[in-house]
Amino acid sequence: MKILLPPSETKHEGGHDAPLDIGSLSLPSLSVHRSAVLDALVDLAADEEASRRVLKLSDRQMGEVAHNRRLRTAPTMPAVDRYTGVLFDALDARSLSAASRRWLGRHVWIHSAPLGPVGALDAVPTYRLAAGTSLPGLPALRRHWAEPTTAAIAEASPPFVLDLRSEAYVALGPVPDSVPSAYVRVVTEHGRALNHFNKRSKGLLVRALAEDRPRSTGLRGLLTWAQQRGFEFRSGEDSGVLELVVAE
């Protein structure tokens, strides 16, 4: 099983690992597309006013330009530790055991805008780039990423993908039809979609999976584990959708 997570706009700064090594990242067939986005971001960072406009930065966020300028030279840390925010705070990967972190490394991809999906333990720098951005010299990120990312997932051929991404990141690389998958929406028992609880519930779900490290690689095994662990899933109205039911 592979789990696809969205990234977060907020991130921990710094890091203790060596600078980004594109060749070491998961899904290596994306290397050319990764390099193209990194080059465009670094070039954009040479012009602060252009960066403000393209990245839609406020005055308080202008320090993000320096992060983009140093993308290829800045220290890195595991992707699952880089991101903060509701989902990643609930996941709290830093507090997991070494065995659980290794499980995350084998089973979780985090879908970043500049690098595409990366492994949970892949070393990445901090950056500023959202899924809906159009960088100078590149097509819109959706057009840049969608086809090669879908092809890379197909090439990896996981037995099952649990897709916890937001719709904006799904658009950057839909799971191919050749790979069994389920897209998760978080709802109340009455079917109302949630936002804050959406992210928190996804983080708690992935943390529980990492703690238990179930052996099953498919949907049926996931649902059996979830029932035993107290997570309620039900089929959504749309084909291929799972609803994760939570209390308000």
pLDDT tens, residue by residue, 164-191: 999 999 999 999 999 999 999 999 887 6
Among 85, 101, 89, CA closest to 210: 101
The residue range of the domain holding 20 is 2-245
pLDDT of amino acid 191: 65
> Can you give the pTM of this predicted structure?
0.95
pLDDT in tens, 36-59: 999 999 999 999 999 999 999 999
pLDDT of amino acid 174: 98
Q: What is the DSSP secondary structure assignment for residue 3, as one 8-state letter?
A: E
- pLDDT at residue 248 greater than cutoff 80: no
Q: Mapping DSSP to helix (H, G, I), strand (E, B) and coil, where does residue 173 land?
A: coil
Q: How confident is the model at residue 100 (pLDDT cuts 50, 70, 90)?
A: very high
Q: How confident is the model at residue 146 (pLDDT cuts 50, 70, 90)?
A: very high
pLDDT in tens, 71-94: 999 999 999 999 999 999 999 999
What is the C-alpha to C-alpha distance for residues 30 and 34, in angstroms, rounded to an integer?
6
Q: How confident is the model at residue 197 (pLDDT cuts 50, 70, 90)?
A: confident
Supply the DSSP string of 178-195, one letter for each residue.
Answer: TS-EEEEEEE-TT--B-S
Q: Are 175 and 184 in contact (CB under 8 A)?
A: no
User: What is the chain's mean pLDDT, rounded?
Assistant: 94
Output the six-digit token pair for 124: 């990445």
Q: Token pair 């991809």 is at which residue? A: 109
Q: Are 16 and 77 in contact (CB under 8 A)?
A: yes
Question: Under 8 Å CB-to-CB from 210, ≥6 apart: which residues?
Answer: 91, 93, 96, 100, 101, 103, 104
pLDDT of amino acid 226: 95
Instruction: Provide the number of structural domains found in the chain.
Output: 1
Q: Token pair 């039911």 is at which residue? A: 245
pLDDT of amino acid 247: 79
Q: How confident is the model at residue 34 (pLDDT cuts 50, 70, 90)?
A: very high
- pLDDT at residue 237 greater than cutoff 90: no
